[in-house]
Amino acid sequence: MQLAYVSIPGRGANDLFLAGVAARLLDGGIRLAGTVQTNPRREGRIKCDMDLRVLPDGPVLRISEDRGNGARGCRLDAGVLEAAVSGVAAALPGADLLLVNKFGKQESEGRGFASLIAEALSRGIPVLCGVNGLNLPAFQGFAEGLATALPGDEAAVLDWCQRACGLQPA
């Protein structure tokens, strides 16, 4: 089983980092399935929006609900997240690697990308996940101690991805 994760502190740090990794992998000919997230700011809003790009070619889906500046609690639109999961599932059979931008609360509860991560691993497709500190214990339980922690270093992550895909690192 080839499962690895990055956990970079700071709001949006994993998202930015993994988007860069995905771009480099795609430029290098790795066939990706998965998602990367951008967090566009909107004028007059305290919180940013959350957009997922389904790899390799889209679409881009807004997974956050606009509930106004005073809203509290989760802003995730779980239905849109499930649409992203469906899009990724369609791309999985031709993929060299599954990249999941975030193992979050949905995955911690067995929803979201959890079953797709397990399916990719059962097919021998390596998986790279972003995990924040809050969800790290749940991810480690999900991975049953078999996940490799990678540093927030692009060269090291690219090296792991290339090796996991059976390629010699550049």
pLDDT digits (tens, 9 = 90+) for 95-110: 999 999 999 888 999 9
pLDDT digits (tens, 9 = 90+) for 41-90: 767 665 667 788 999 988 987 776 665 555 554 556 777 778 889 999 99
**Beta bridge partner(s), residue 54:** 35
Alpha-carbon distance of 48 to 164, in angstroms, equals 34
Is the pLDDT confidence value at 163 over 60? yes
Q: What is the pTM of this model?
A: 0.88
The residue ranking higher by pLDDT, 166 or 65, is 166
- What pLDDT score does 70 carry? 58
Alpha-carbon distance of 61 to 84, in angstroms, equals 7
- What pLDDT score does 12 carry? 84
Alpha-carbon distance of 137 to 7, in angstroms, equals 12
37 contacts 15 by C-beta, under 8 angstroms: yes
